[in-house]
Amino acid sequence: MPDYSEDWHPGSFTKNFGWGKDGRGLAELHHAIRVGFGEAKGDIRRSDFRQRLEAQDINFYIPANFFLFNYSNEAGDWICFDELVFQAVFFGHSEHFDRLALFAFNLSLVGSWQGARHFQRRPALWSNRYIVERLAQAHRWDVSKVNADDIQAFLDGDGRYKAKTSRKLSTNLNFLYQIGGLDSVVADTIERWWMNASFLAADRLCRLQYARRLNVSAIGEALDEFEFSLLSGGKNVEKSYALKRLLEMYVSVGGPARFERSVEAINSGRTNDPRPYGLVDKKLPRAPKSLPAGVVNTMDWLDASYEVLNHDELKAFDVDMFVREASVRALSKIRERGIKPTMSSSDLMALMRG
């Protein structure tokens, strides 16, 4: 069980990352991960990641110590090729990435490395508890109540926060929430980032052995313990169904081992397209789950309830795009037919469907 009585430290979060200006979201983080991993398609040395970032004057502490997953063994310190890295390396920067990265930050499970202090395993518990204890519980998901002053009041009123100042951390965190899109994280609908977030959380809980076995119930219990639903915008019937289906898929592709399996499949020639592909659950047509090349070919669970998308179809399947196009189509129909201000909403819906 997570220990929420642990002290909170700002870590290097009072150091500034340099997110860039005007609506670029977390593009700099996306870029940093690509720079750090280079051509690698598997775990890399923390020192290599660091060297590559510092060679380009990119702050190393924020990506490595707050967003990515670290572990060490006899051979040294490593950074995992997990779902967040997969999404950064194989897909261009998008809002899907920003939401996923913000989720990774809030989940705050980054493993450890040689010389790390104990509290650094959960480097942003202050954000994790702000989301769960303040936004979800006290504010009942009213995102409009989130601002630097509210974050600061939360920190100042909590004995677990151990630092001399709180203003800078509060303004920095509020800034991250704004550019990462916290307002869209709080959503009832199932989006692509949410599906990726379930894989990301599963990756980390498996790696940390909080999920002791690679099966749906063990991972599901670990996700509950670490409040996956609360950190990803709340629970509903559709999300519960989707999570179960996603975990079945996750287990079938080998869990954290899916990336190694993909590399093997490509190297051995068992798959000829090295690009990721997608699966769409026909009951959840809003969002496909992207998977690394070659990991599902032999799976017998892939039955008629899933649609397979090749890489190009996966790229084209963008919910935002779909919605935008649908709105444009509906608008032109409205103009054609001459909309009246007295129309009821059901009339409007009928028009949009037509």
* Residue 9 or 99 with smaller CB distance to DNA: 9
Q: Does residue 10 interact with DNA by CB under 7 A? A: yes
Site residue total, DNA (CB under 7 A): 26
Q: What angle do CA 148, 151, 156 make, to 5 degrees?
A: 120
User: Distance (Å, rounded) from C-alpha 150 to C-alpha 122?
Assistant: 22
As given in the structure block, the two tokens for residue 185 are: 């994280």
Note whether 250 and 271 are within 8 A (CB).
no
Token pair 């609506």: residue: 23
Q: Does residue 51 interact with DNA by CB under 7 A? A: no
User: Distance (Å, rounded) from C-alpha 99 to C-alpha 232?
Assistant: 9
Q: Does residue 24 interact with DNA by CB under 7 A? A: no
Note whether 100 and 200 are within 8 A (CB).
yes
* Residue 61 or 141 with smaller CB distance to DNA: 61
User: Distance (Å, rounded) from C-alpha 102 to C-alpha 186?
Assistant: 12
* Residue 156 or 347 with smaller CB distance to DNA: 156
Q: Does residue 90 interact with DNA by CB under 7 A? A: no
Min dist CB 197 to DNA, Å, is 25
Q: Does residue 65 interact with DNA by CB under 7 A? A: yes
CA distance readout (Å), 82 to 79, 242, 269, 275, 332: 9, 21, 23, 16, 43
Report the helix count and the strand count for the chain, using DSSP H and E.
17, 6
Q: Which stretch binds DNA (CB under 7 A): 109-117, 183-191, 194-202, 265-273?
A: 109-117
Q: Does residue 16 interact with DNA by CB under 7 A? A: yes
Min dist CB 120 to DNA, Å, is 5
Q: Which stretch binds DNA (CB under 7 A): 3-11, 128-136, 184-192, 332-340?
A: 3-11
Q: Does residue 282 interact with DNA by CB under 7 A? A: no
* Residue 65 or 128 with smaller CB distance to DNA: 65
Which of 27, 40, 48, 61 is in the footprint of DNA by CB under 7 A?
61
Which of 24, 121, 167, 311 is in the footprint of DNA by CB under 7 A?
167
Contacts of 313 (CB under 8 A, 6+ apart): 278
Give the closest residue to 79 by CA, choosing from 119, 116, 36, 123: 36
Q: Does residue 165 interact with DNA by CB under 7 A? A: yes
Q: Does residue 175 interact with DNA by CB under 7 A? A: yes
Q: Does residue 189 interact with DNA by CB under 7 A? A: no
* Residue 54 or 248 with smaller CB distance to DNA: 54
Q: Does residue 14 interact with DNA by CB under 7 A? A: yes
Note whether 305 and 282 are within 8 A (CB).
yes
Q: What angle do CA 64, 41, 287 make, to 5 degrees?
A: 85
CA distance readout (Å), 201 to 2, 247, 263: 14, 11, 22
Which of 38, 42, 117, 257 is in the footprint of DNA by CB under 7 A?
117
* Residue 12 or 94 with smaller CB distance to DNA: 12
Q: Which stretch binds DNA (CB under 7 A): 161-169, 200-208, 255-263, 268-276?
A: 161-169
Beta strand pairing call for 289-291 and 306-309: unpaired
Q: Which stretch binds DNA (CB under 7 A): 163-171, 260-268, 294-302, 333-341?
A: 163-171
Residues at the interface with DNA (CB under 7 A):
9-16, 18-19, 61, 65, 114-117, 120, 148, 163-165, 167-168, 171-172, 175
